[in-house]
Amino acid sequence: MTLILVGFVADLHGSADHLFEAAPVVMRDREFFVAPGLDWDETALIPLVSGTGVPVHLIKAAHQIVPGDTVWVGGPSFVDGIKTCSFAEEDSYTIGGWESSALGFRVSQGHRRDFGDLVRRLRYRLEHGLHAALFDQLELFKGDAPGLYALYTGLPVDPDLDYQLTRALYFHGMRDEYSRQFIRSESVYALRLAASMEEFDDAFDAKSSQLTQMRLGEQTGVLAPPTTLSPRDVSLTLRELRRVSSQRWVYSLNTSSELSSTTDRWLRILKSAHDSPSKHESELPA
């Protein structure tokens, strides 16, 4: 049976500078439903009922949608930044061409594996731009670095150690020691990405040294000599490689944190309202 995408469910407040997925609102036989979560099929559709306060946003042109697709949403600040970001390459044109929606947000649709590929590609390219900016004071303070950082932190990724190190290096370059120390503590105590402050510092120093050698190699056209690692450095490196290896495939499919955080509460409300016999009207006009 044909499903028509007519909108999406998401709380857009505070999301202007983010890229995220949202739950589709679909029409089937002139009735409206919300497709819950990820990897959904028709049997999982939740009827859209009135009086729940669910934040439904319509799209201008209805499209056919297949089970498992999500709505990809770019906040206006994120889209404006990515459109002028040379490091985003062809993705800047793609996202800039997404359909306009509520409050200046842009939307597209597709399978979450493709969304994961998009996020992973943007992360790699933005990291490359940030790493290059670390060695240029003009870029850091008056150039593209702040915009690159805003885009980087607007991606829906589950933080790993390399992500946190890139953020810490940026604030170190900006001479913002307070923010660098916050990320250091967050990585150890909240995210458990390093066993101790000392381990995070070792990883920070190793990352800084690696980027410096890469930069010197680019400037001279000669590859930098390999770094001599201590047994402790080898242990840290192997541990991080194992972590990245175990998460590589999961990462491309786990870019759904924004979808979960912005729609789970509304989906529970809809399910509860649907179970109540007193509420069965659609939030959308027939």
- Is 66 domain-assigned? yes
- Is 204 domain-assigned? no
Q: H or E stretch including 61?
A: strand 56-64
- Is 61 domain-assigned? yes
- Is 9 domain-assigned? yes
Residue range of the domain that includes 94 = 1-111+257-280
Q: Examine the pLDDT at 285 and tell me if it is beyond 50.
A: no
- Is 52 domain-assigned? yes
Q: Residue-wise over 246-284: b if at least 16 C-beta within 10 A, else e?
A: eeeeebbebbbebbbebbeebbebbeebbeeeeeeebbe
Q: What is the pLDDT of residues 166-183, one digit of tens each?
A: 999 999 999 999 999 999
How far apart, in whole angstroms, are the C-alpha atoms of residue 185 and residue 279?
47
pLDDT at 17 (0 to 100): 96
Closest residue by Cα to residue 263 from 60, 8, 3, 4: 8
Q: Are 258 and 18 within 8 A, CB to CB?
A: yes
- Is 182 domain-assigned? no
pTM of the model: 0.78
Q: Examine the pLDDT at 277 and tell me if it is beyond 80.
A: no
In the numeric block, which tokens belong to residue 69? 């697709």
Q: H or E stretch including 32?
A: strand 31-34
Q: What is the pLDDT of residues 76-124, one digit of tens each?
A: 999 999 999 999 999 999 999 999 998 999 999 999 899 999 999 999 9
- Is 169 domain-assigned? no
Tell me which of 108-122, 220-234, 242-256, 266-280 is least confident: 242-256
- Is 242 domain-assigned? no
pLDDT at 42 (0 to 100): 92
Give the chain's domain count.
1
Q: Examine the pLDDT at 137 and tell me if it is beyond 50.
A: yes
